[in-house]
Structure 1
Amino acid sequence: MTEDQKIKAQALSRCRFLPGSNAKRFVRDMARLASEKPDQELTEKQRKYLDDLFHSYRRQIGRAYMETLGQTSLDL
């Protein structure tokens, strides 16, 4: 995982999801992967889904993580 992907996974792990949703399970797995196996690469589909979720939940993520990633606006 790249540093950006690790930050995105950790930021998403603080968001609220619908109970039992695929997104919740995926984010939980990615956050665990970022902490336990940081050198493991993500597949193309995992990268895309992580980016899509990050965009979808950008309001919950907040400005601090956006600035960490070098993005000045919440409108990705």
Structure 2
Amino acid sequence: MNAPTELNPEEMGRIKLEVLRRDHRDLDDAIHVMETSGRGDQLTLRRLKKQKLALKDQITRLEDLLTPDIIA
């Protein structure tokens, strides 16, 4: 009963979605720490915020792919 377990594309997408969400939360935490500590330079903060926004866009696209359209 040692059949190889391969993930289907939907399962892989859900795993990727969780990784993206975790990365987004980590960036949010890092940005918050930099802003509250006052030690973050503006260029770094801008780059982190841009990266966070790009992750949010990827999350939204992947959620749209994984969520079936329901026409009522």
TM band (smaller chain): 0.3 to 0.5
Which one has a larger percent helix, Structure 1 or Structure 2? 2
Rg larger for: 2
- TM-score, structure 1 as length reference: 0.36
Q: What is the TM-score normalised by the length of structure 2?
A: 0.37
Higher RCO by CA contacts (8 Å cutoff, separation 6 or greater): 2
